[in-house]
Structure 1
């Protein structure tokens, strides 16, 4: 593709561009304007008056500004010269009032407080009782400044401590595990303890089978009478046979009670805590 301009027409334009470039070896550009390199500052550049004006919000509030002014001039915070401090404070407020009205609102409130304190100091002190000192109008402001300075120092101490993500990072290490996991070895004592636990649980779930046994009270009454036949006395304990089991013992005791109720036997005792004897009831013949 050929251009419509010939060599004669291109020569003046190229010569003008080369003449505009500074006589430097490396041709380093000062800046780029719309993608084009800028090798020299333009002579007809217009800069508005407020374009390069920078306002830094260096204070976090009115108390921060007051504390800065006091510490900068080495004022005694317990004996603040209100005239000089108020004048410097109002100078700063005038600077920010025309730029940021919302920011200046809380500063204006503190300025009103400073003017009030200054006015109260010009008035004669109120009369107080003997032995008492008159109230200092600056006392409340001094208290707030000391509390603010204490909180500011505590915040600076906390900020100086190492913080995760800012001063250090958490170390992370990736360990590739093998495909076949290795299980830990089992001790013999652990197996014994596990076996004991199984046996304890097995005892708790044992099944009990209860069988029905028919026992006759009349039959055992006859047995007791046969035992007492031909004897004068017989100890109460000798009438029971523990080997036959608890059901037989219970039925035998009930048989003794029935015999005593029907007055067929007598239960006697010589004295308290003495042995108990059983005998056939006396019947005259």
Structure 2
């Protein structure tokens, strides 16, 4: 039956060639698209089969599925009943293998490992060379499960922390300046006074060139010894030349102290407040 047979006849008021549709057409339309009636489904509409599948539990990998089966039934993770767990694990793998073989390959590897561990548990245990009990075949699997559970719990705790953009937003406040700052006006007379003040301070500034004179204590020690040669006594103040500046006076005094420390000079005084005399402590040849 064609669409024309399903559609009611047009009223007499409509002429041939007109595109107007009567209101009764809405009663037989299969759908409405943006308010307009749709009388036939599009032939190019494609819905992938996977889009209609529903997974009640989603797991991130074989360890996640295995841990879920153990914790859901309150099994002791240190004493896993491999027969029950493996049976439940394989039933889930069969479901996903029928839909997505590539996704099921990783789960099949873990299923093979479970079957291998169960087979090793059925065999009689072999003692080691040291006579100790052999390791439980489930030990490596238990270690991996415990490590995975710790990482999963840590990731869950990190996910519960407040996250910028998800749990809170950064507050931003924009304050509009309603009034522009007004600076005081400067007159020509004030600029003139400021310039004269700069010139006045420039005249007060003087440049001084400081020269550095290098003085040698050993050289002044020799000068003091030459002054005392051939003389019995020399008054203390006669050994200094005030005209040469305080630097020379200080170096000359240090030279005299150094000569006295080396016992090359003798400094004597007859009584308190009497003149101080200096002489050589040895007689030159």
Q: TM-score, normalised by structure 2?
A: 0.56
Name the structure 1 match of 2:53.
54
CA-CA distance at 1:83 after TM superposition: 1.1
Distance in 1, Cα, partners of 2:25 & 2:242: 135
Q: Which among 12, 20, 24 is matched to residue 8 of structure 1? A: 12
| 1:119 and 2:119 are equivalent in the alignment | yes
Relative to 1, partners in 2 of residues 1:78 and 1:271: Cα closer, same or farther, differing over 3 Å? closer
Q: Secondary structure at the match of 2:53?
A: coil
1:194 is aligned to: none
Distance between the aligned counterparts of 2:150 and 2:127, measured in 1? 34
**CA distance change for structure 1 residues 181 and 99 in 2, over 3 Å: closer, same or farther?**
farther
Aligned residues: 208
Q: Is the 8 A contact 1:240 1:249 kept in 2?
A: no
Name which of 23, 27, 31 aligns with 1:21. 27
**Partner secondary structure for residue 76 of structure 2:** coil
**Secondary structure, counterpart of 2:150 in structure 1:** helix
Query: Quick one: structure 1 residues 35 and 277, their matched pair in 2 at CA, closer, same or farther if it must change by over 3 Å?
Result: same
| 1:244 equivalenced with 2:243 (yes/no) | yes
Task: Give 1:170 deviation, angstroms.
Answer: 0.7
* 3-state DSSP of counterpart to 1:102: helix
2:265–2:278 Cα contact (<8 Å) kept: no
Deviation readout 1:88-118 (Å, 9 max, x if unpaired): 1111112222333332222111111111111
The aligned counterpart of 2:110 is 110
Deviations 1:121-170 (A, max 9, x none): 11111134798433211111111111111111111111111111110011
What does residue 162 of structure 1 align with?
Answer: 162
Q: State whether residues 70 and 77 of structure 2, in contact with CA within 8 Å, keep that contact through their aligned partners in structure 1.
A: yes
Do residues 153 (structure 1) and 159 (structure 2) align?
Answer: no
- Corresponding residue for residue 264 of structure 1: none
Consecutive unaligned residues of structure 2, counting only runs of 5 or more, are 1-8, 184-204, 214-226, 253-262, 269-276, 281-285
Structure 2: distance between partners of 1:82 and 1:169: 48
Deviation at 1:242, TM superposition (A): 3.8
1:208–1:173 distance in 2 versus 1, CA, 3 Å = same
In structure 2, the residue corresponding to 1:79 is in which secondary structure?
Answer: coil
Distance 1:273 1:120, change over 3 A: farther
- Kindly tell me: are residues 8 and 175 of structure 1, through their superposed partners in 2, closer, same or farther at Cα, counting changes over 3 Å? closer
SS at match of 1:207: coil
Q: 1:32 to 1:75 in 2, by over 3 A?
A: farther
TM-score, structure 1 normalization: 0.56
Unaligned runs of 5+ in 1: 23-28, 183-201, 212-223, 254-268, 279-285
CA gap of 1:136–1:168, structure 2 versus 1, over 3 A, is same
What is the CA RMSD across the aligned residues, in angstroms?
Answer: 4.8
Does residue 180 (structure 1) correspond to residue 186 (structure 2)? The answer is no
3-state SS of the aligned residue for 2:124? coil
SS at match of 1:8: coil
Q: Structure 1 residues 106, 16: CA separation in 2 closer, same or farther (over 3 Å shift)?
A: same
Q: Alpha-carbon deviation of 1:33? A: 4.7
Partner of residue 207, structure 1: 209
Q: Are residues 139 and 10 of structure 1, via their aligned partners in 2, closer, same or farther at CA, if it must alter by over 3 Å? A: same
Contact 2:265 2:279 in 1 (8 A): no
